[in-house]
Amino acid sequence: MSNAYSKDLERWLPRLISVWRASRGRGDGPEGRLTPQEVKEVGAGVKQLSHGLTRERQLAGARYMDDPRLLGAYLLFYWPVSYAQARQVLGELPNRPRQVLDLGSGPGPVAFAAMDAGGSEVTAADRSKPALELARKLATEAGEALATREWDPLKKNAQLPEGQYDLITMGHVINELYGATDEALKPRAALLESVLAKVKKGGSLLVMEPALRETSRNLLKVRDLLVERGYAIRAPCMFRGACPALVKETDWCHAERAWPMPRVVEELARAAGFHKESLKMSYLVVAPKGEAWPEPPPGRLFRIVSESLEGKGRQRYIGCGPEGRVGLAMQERHRSEKNEKFFHLQRGDVIEATDLETKGDGYALGENAEVRMVAQAGRGVPPAPKP
């Protein structure tokens, strides 16, 4: 995460702790830091949330935000994580959003991330009154104006908030709706279609999900339903057909970003007994109906969608671009000034490569290969130059 995002998040941490303490009726404690007892107490809630949302998933779809202990654990641990994830993905938007609606907002990490990324009129909508109350308190603490609305997508005839928006966000929401089977995919896609009808021309719908295999693959299946219905994906996909990551059951696609973790998050991760050193999420940025797919710049482009798969005497990644999902490999002996970048790529980077030879499940980059960075992870792919 860039220094700008880190500094913005650092400003939020004392507010999160202050609002959390006030919500429990205990205002004492060091400013911007948790006491060892608080770390222990919140860490237990973080562990429960993590198990309930990523393992047995019995909390997925449950009203856990209405439980003060779990809401507090969310506020102090998952709020900073979701904020940082959102700031990363918001960097890929083609336009700075002004009017923003955050659906399934909880206490507002994505809403405030959008605000810090330039949103001037931001609305947070959720079914949990306690979560919205915390979002309002955070806005007051920060001296920001935040509108809030109650919204429960599972209620019969649930109405979306009025208006049209430059950006609508749904952070870690879709995977918790309509159950855990493939039967959930169609109603999820239908909900996203109804949401997309509220997006202004040139605007975007941002859907962020956990980077688990199941939740990531389900997001890609929903993506395919939207693509079939004529919707264009702004990011991260450059391939316009059915997602090639769904061909093999063992594949999935997620983003991963290096992250200088704030001290509070690090302490709580340790207390909960798990290791967290990077941001992982799956995401889609979808254009409203009738808008074309972005035209990428010329050349053979690939987004790196794996970690480094370094082998003896070679470097390898999985890339996905306009021609699909392929392996990309280069022998160490072919390394040169023109392709040095290939040996230091991160998941999410978009590159242009030349001198490609078909080999195995993809391409080998030859001795004359040139590798150019088109967009670093978290940055938008520049559009094709206008004729």
Residue 385 covered by a domain = no
Residue 62: the pLDDT is 59
One domain, residues 54 and 77: yes
Residue 33 covered by a domain = yes
Residue 380: the pLDDT is 94
pLDDT over threshold 70, residue 61 = no
Instruction: Give the whole-angstrom CA distance, residue 276 versus residue 268.
Output: 10
pLDDT tens per residue, range 165-218? 999 999 999 998 998 789 999 999 999 999 999 999 999 999 999 998 999 999
Burial class (CB in 10 A: 0-12, 13-18, 19+), 291: middle
Domain end call among 238, 256, 286: 286
Residue 367 covered by a domain = yes
One domain, residues 225 and 251: yes
Residue 295 covered by a domain = no
Share of residues in the chain with pLDDT > 70 (%): 95
pLDDT tens per residue, range 99-124? 999 999 999 999 999 999 999 999 99
Q: What is the dihedral of CA 331, 280, 43, 13, to 10 degrees?
A: 110
**Would you list the DSSP string of 78-101?**
IHHHHHHHHHHHHTT-SS--SEEE
Q: Which domain holds residue 315?
A: 301-375
One domain, residues 217 and 324: no
Q: What is the domain-level CATH number for residue 307?
A: 2.40.50.1010
3-state secondary structure of 196: helix
CA torsion sign for 99, 101, 107, 112 is: negative
Domain end call among 286, 320, 348: 286
Could you tell me which of 336, 280, 286 has the C-alpha nearest to residue 305? Answer: 280
- Count the neighbouring beta carbons within 10 Å of the beta carbon of residue 346: 16
Residue 296 covered by a domain = no
Cα angle 20, 25, 29 (rounded to 5 degrees) comes to: 65
Residue 294 covered by a domain = no
Residue 171: the pLDDT is 96
Residue with tokens 């923003």: 100
pLDDT tens per residue, range 307-326? 999 888 999 999 999 999 99
pLDDT over threshold 50, residue 1 = no
The mean of the pLDDT values for the chain is: 92
Residue 20: the pLDDT is 92
Mean pLDDT, rounded, for 25-46:
88
- pLDDT tier, 56 (very low <50, low <70, confident <90, very high otherwise): low
Domain end call among 236, 261, 286: 286
One domain, residues 40 and 155: yes
Residue of higher predicted confidence among 228 and 63: 228
One domain, residues 9 and 107: yes
Q: Distances from the Cα of 248 to the Cαs of 217, 233, 241, 245, 325, in angstroms?
A: 11, 22, 16, 7, 11
pLDDT tens per residue, range 211-246? 989 999 999 999 999 999 999 999 999 999 999 999
The residues that bridge with 311 in the sheet, in sequence order, are: 314
What is the reported pTM? 0.94
Total domain count, the chain: 2
Do you find a cis peptide bond into 161, omega within 30 degrees of 0? no
Q: What is the domain-level CATH number for residue 199?
A: 3.40.50.150
